Structure 1
Amino acid sequence: MLLRAAVTGAVAHWLGAAGPAEARPSKDDRRTIYVVGDSTASAYATTEVPRAGWGQALPLFLTPGTTVVNEAVSASSSKSFSVAGRLDRILAVLRPRDVLLISFGHGDESEHPTRHTDPWTTFQDYLQLYIDGARATRALPVLVTPVERRRFTADGVSFLSHGEYPDAMRALAATTRTPLIDLAALSFALWSSLGPEATKDYFLWLDAGESPKFPNGVSDDTHLQARGAIEVARLVVSAGRMLPGRDRRALRDPDLSADLLVRPPTRPGPDPL
């Protein structure tokens, strides 16, 4: 299923099982930004308001004519995404000068054998497949460290949650000379500055009765609601100077509405285990 919609002048494409082949820009000179990753980046449907992913919010910070294809899928790791054939489908349609944003880590930390990778061996090995595949098409691979979770001590001091995975990605970026957006560091700084209470408005924290999707309320320190998705996307585009179509005016706008997010009627489920 393919959803095409305009968001503040930027075009966002969301793809299902058919893959990205139908989503090619109509003009040869246009560049497409592909997003691969997990549930923190994926698109969420209208029935899942206010939950949202940062890949879903990227078009808010891009100029007209810049296309985003968000292929991030819930419960994915660098391993499971590749093994499921999703990477191959994207590589089949990548064109020169397209951008591939590669953001994994949450799923790789899982102990489930279909998802788990070790930060300094298999995690780097799988990420290398994405880098090499993009470069073979003359597209630009960009590594994006995983967005930090909401983690605070009882005294309100924030602490890191991803172990060695961000460091492993940083090291791989350095040794392979791959551009890096250090979203782990950027988001950690943002959550630290906001503190334990204010960050609840960015993550999926809702009181009972606040949302029909979560009638009993929810306290989720990993997934984002719309406000959080927008601000994390702002971090990605602000730091991503290699990205085409960065809209500097939007990046300076502190009041972008959650209503601007494009939501598909449904979203792809996780890869089978």
Structure 2
Amino acid sequence: MRDLSHQKIVKAERRKSSLNISRQNRIVINISGIRFETFKSTLEAYPNTLLGNVKRRKYYYDNILNEYFFDRHRGCFEAILYYYQSKGRLRRPNLVPLDTFLEEIIFFDLGQDALAQVRKDENLKEVEKTQLPRNRCRRYGDMVPITALGRLTAVLCALTGVGTIGMLVSVLVDRYQRIDEGIIVAGTGVGGSAANQLSRSRGFVIDQRETIYIADLWNSRIKKWKKGASEGITVAGGNGQGLAANQMNSPWNVEVDPYGNIYIADTDNIRVMKWVPAATEGM
């Protein structure tokens, strides 16, 4: 009787141990409020992907809830998780737009084979590859896509890091006109905080009048540079680094809507600000 009782205890302990191991091998993935559960080994069979790489996915781990959280598209993720569980089969859900599905595949870094599989299923043609020019200005000109401004094309090259924006193209035709040397259209080539200077300029946008709005990173301001102007106008920030409504801290990018409202990625303040025309502070 003692032996029989001992065997039951051993079996119960083994089942408990097996259950604990199974739980340890399972992870929960929260996609915008919807939870999915799968085995770690299922994901880690694809170590080059975001979810399959332990070091990369740890940045999305919530210690309190013991789950991984992603603010991504729910419908797409069902197909992406099935990619892991089915050993590489991928199919776009019927109600998910193709561009959204491709964005999610790229975000989770499923790789070129997965993208090629979708392109084949969707009958998409491969983009013809071309050799880029060796000249730096011409090379970046080739890399810039056609803008949404219709026939007005003004493509800039903000690469110098010393406060210069160089114009590559400014033509009213549906083609690119490439030149070997850039034309300075904003800044002086010397970093600084004067009205005609920039300091570590980053993102920029151009409106239909060819006015340039520039994220002047180290000066924590947005400069508006009209076509042909010798200096820019500060239209947002310019009051030093800070968290106040009239300040920014390392603005990285800028966008302008058709009404002249300015939207700024205020990087080190971890916020996006909106400045209406002629405003003295943002919201």
Point out the structure with the larger helix share: 1
TM-score, reference length from structure 1: 0.23
Normalising by structure 2, what TM-score? 0.23
Which structure carries more strand by proportion? 2
Which structure ranks higher in relative contact order (CA pairs < 8 Å, sequence separation ≥ 6)?
1
